[in-house]
Every structure is written in structure tokens, then in C-alpha cells.
């Protein structure tokens, strides 16, 4: 059992932590870690335990407020890390008006904690949605890159985005530009054609979307370190 005045709270898994009167700093740090790992199930389990601790804490009003401040401060930092200062400022200004935090209403602090939790969870859902879009973009490129007129604008048009927005989104999610990503596919296709067919450079360059053989040769050498002719010769020697 717990010593008098302490409270046991199951935080996650089978672990049991006894709270005496202290700030639940270790538990809040665990909350932050699960938030950064986007482990929603364990984040919510720890959050609920901390919230239950605050709501059932049998201490003075002042000490309850102090604990609330610590938890709010930690969750604001999580929101800032995930979404930036503006998202945190928006929640704080709205709650200061709606819940009368300046008047010392404990329920208002608890409501703010809950809203911060909702904001963190909403950020994950948005991120998951964005990841789905990225998967769709990559799948679209894989299916269509062999088309002669396929280019970055084809991707933007298909997903109803402007080219600058599409390019910025793709770079933010992959750390490579959209044109670099498509070029990798096209150069791979060019190597396949050079290795397995006797098509002329003019035909191959047209097939992968270059208007002239010279621009294709320049890009191919930049990408592989060899001209298309050199690549074809090396491949033919390898077969022999």
C-alpha cells in the first residue's frame, strides 16, 4: 500500500508511480517524450493519469495552481515544438478570456490543459493526413514517370496544388526537391532503356521528357558521371 498522504497512479504499461506531494516532473517528461514520439496511446494514458492526479489532489488551492502551471508550461512547450509559437499563443489568449485564468479558477487551468492535449492530438492527425498525401504523390510518380510529357507540373495539377506549394510541401516532407525525386526516376528509366534497347538518344531523350538529346546527355552525365554512350558501352562490355 501507499504511505499516508500519497496517491498511486498507473501511468503506462504495468508501472505504478506513487505521488507524494510533489510536482509530477518525471511523469510530465514522460508525457513530452511520448508526444515527440507521436505515441498517441501512451501519451493519452500518461496525460489522463496526470490530470486525475491534479483533479484529486488534496492540498491547498495555491499548490494545486502551482502544479497546474508546471503541467501547462510543459504542454505549451510540446505545442511549440510541434507547431510553433503561434499555435501556443492562440490557445493561451483564447483560454485567458474564456476561462478567466487571471481570476485563479482551477477549473479554467484544467480546461486549458485539456485543450492543449487536444491541440497536440490534432497536430498528429494533421501530420498523419500529410503523410498520406506524400504516399499518394510518390505512388502517382511511380505510376506515371515513364510518360513522355510527365513533369513536376503534372504532379501539381493532379493534386490540385500550385507548383510552388507542391514543391515546398514535398521538400518539407522528404528533404529533396520534387524535381530531384522525379529526375531520379527518369534517369533510372533512361539507364534501363540504354541497357535493354537499341533506341537512339533522340528517342530516349524524348521518352523521358527532354526536348533535345543534348540536354538529356548533359543531365545524364551530371547524374551518373558518364555520357549515355559511355554508359551503354560499359553495359555492353559487362554483358560480354
Pair 133, 143: CB distance under 8 Å? no
DSSP structural state of residue 22: S
Q: Sorting pLDDT into bands at 50, 70 and 90, what band is 137? A: very high
User: Is the per-residue pLDDT at 133 higher than 70?
Assistant: yes
Dist. CA 82–CA 90, nearest whole Å: 14
Mean pLDDT along residues 179-199: 91
**pLDDT cut 70: percent of the chain above it:** 78
User: Is the per-residue pLDDT at 10 higher than 60?
Assistant: no
User: Is the per-residue pLDDT at 127 higher than 80?
Assistant: no
Q: Sorting pLDDT into bands at 50, 70 and 90, what band is 11? A: very low
Cβ within 8 Å of residue 72, ≥6 positions away: 109, 112, 113, 116
Phi, psi of 19 (to 5 degrees): -95, 120
User: Is the per-residue pLDDT at 1 higher than 50?
Assistant: no
Q: Which residues pair with 9 in a beta bridge?
A: 17
Q: Tens digit of pLDDT for each residue in 46-85?
A: 888 888 888 777 777 777 888 888 888 888 888 888 777 7
Mean pLDDT along residues 14-18: 40
Mean pLDDT along residues 3-22: 44
Say what the pLDDT of residue 98 is. 44
Q: Tens digit of pLDDT for each residue in 26-40?
A: 888 888 888 887 778
User: Is the per-residue pLDDT at 202 higher than 70?
Assistant: yes
Mean pLDDT along residues 127-156: 86
Q: Sorting pLDDT into bands at 50, 70 and 90, what band is 106? A: confident
The dihedral over CA atoms of 120, 122, 125, 130, expressed in degrees to the nearest 10, equals: -100
Amino acid at each position: 500500500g501507499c504511505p499516508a498522504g500519497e496517491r498511486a497512479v498507473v501511468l503506462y504499461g504495468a508501472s505504478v508511480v506513487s505521488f507524494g506531494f510533489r510536482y509530477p516532473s518525471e511523469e510530465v517528461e514522460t508525457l513530452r517524450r511520448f508526444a515527440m514520439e507521436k505515441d498517441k496511446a501512451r501519451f493519452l494514458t500518461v496525460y489522463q493519469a496526470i490530470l486525475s492526479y491534479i483533479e484529486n489532489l488534496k492540498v491547498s488551492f495555491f499548490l494545486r495552481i502551482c502544479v497546474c502551471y508546471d503541467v501547462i508550461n510543459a504542454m505549451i512547450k510540446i505545442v511549440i515544438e510541434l507547431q510553433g509559437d503561434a499555435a501556443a499563443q492562440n490557445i493561451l489568449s483564447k483560454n485567458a478570456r474564456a476561462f478567466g485564468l487571471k481570476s485563479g479558477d482551477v477549473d479554467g487551468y484544467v480546461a486549458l490543459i485539456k485543450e492543449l492535449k487536444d491541440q497536440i492530438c490534432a497536430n498528429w492527425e494533421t501530420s498523419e493526413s500529410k503523410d498520406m498525401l506524400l504516399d499518394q504523390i510518390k505512388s502517382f510518380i511511380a505510376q506515371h514517370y515513364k510518360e513522355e510529357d510527365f513533369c513536376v507540373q503534372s504532379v501539381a495539377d493532379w493534386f490540385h496544388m500550385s507548383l510552388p506549394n507542391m514543391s515546398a510541401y514535398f521538400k518539407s516532407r522528404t528533404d529533396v526537391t520534387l524535381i530531384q525525386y522525379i529526375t531520379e526516376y527518369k534517369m533510372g528509366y533512361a539507364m534501363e532503356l540504354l541497357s535493354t534497347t537499341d533506341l537512339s538518344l533522340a528517342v530516349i531523350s524524348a521518352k523521358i521528357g527532354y526536348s533535345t538529346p543534348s540536354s538529356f546527355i548533359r543531365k545524364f552525365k551530371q547524374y551518373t558521371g558518364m555520357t549515355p554512350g559511355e554508359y551503354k558501352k560499359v553495359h555492353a562490355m559487362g554483358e560480354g
